[in-house]
Amino acid sequence: MTTLVFADSLNNKIKIGPRALSGMNGFVQNDSKKREAGGVLLGRFLIGINDVIVDHITVPMAGDKRSRFGFFRTKHAHQKRISEAWASSQGTCNYLGEWHTHPEDDPYPSAHDLTSWKNKLNLDRFDSDFLFFIIVGTVRVNAWEGHRNDGQFEKLSLVPIIQA
């Protein structure tokens, strides 16, 4: 599968583009020696509708902390990539949220994940009222939308892609 599309309860969509999905899939924890990985989601808001496209991601960088059951990303290296993407796109490539892996088939956020996500909603600077959080499991990819105004998270539904 080269893209994934998720929808919220209002049918607003987030499309994970092929480059971003390929990057995340490269870190699937399908072996007991593989450590969690993660980074940020970078992409575009589509004008006139409430959909977004994730075009790029960052991947683990020097200074990130990785273990079998944990990932902590350093701010500076990833922020540099966010700033570079913003500048080179003339302000159209935005920070959209975070992604990381879990060593489970159908991944769900841990208590630590939810606390981290709430902190991001409260402390990070971003140009919308929401951030997306993606967890890549060994079989499935799941996504959540976090809302800045109330700190709540909505699990997004995978939208079937019909091949012509």
Q: Where are the domains of the chain?
A: 4-158
Strands 52-57 and 13-16: parallel
Cβ contacts of 128 within 8 Å, gap of 6 or more:
45, 94, 96, 148
| Distances from the Cα of 160 to the Cα of 15, 27, 47, 113, 132, angstroms | 12, 23, 23, 27, 19
- 3-class secondary-structure state, position 78: helix
pLDDT at 126: 84
Which pLDDT belongs to residue 37?
97
Across the chain, mean pLDDT equals: 93
Q: Is 154 a catalytic residue?
A: no
- Percent of the chain scoring above 90 in pLDDT: 83
For residue 1, the SS3 value is: coil
Cβ-contact 163, 18 below 8 angstroms: no
Architecture of domain 4-158: 3-Layer(aba) Sandwich (3.40)
pTM for this entry: 0.94
Please pick, among 36, 104, 145, 154, the residue that the annotation labels catalytic.
36
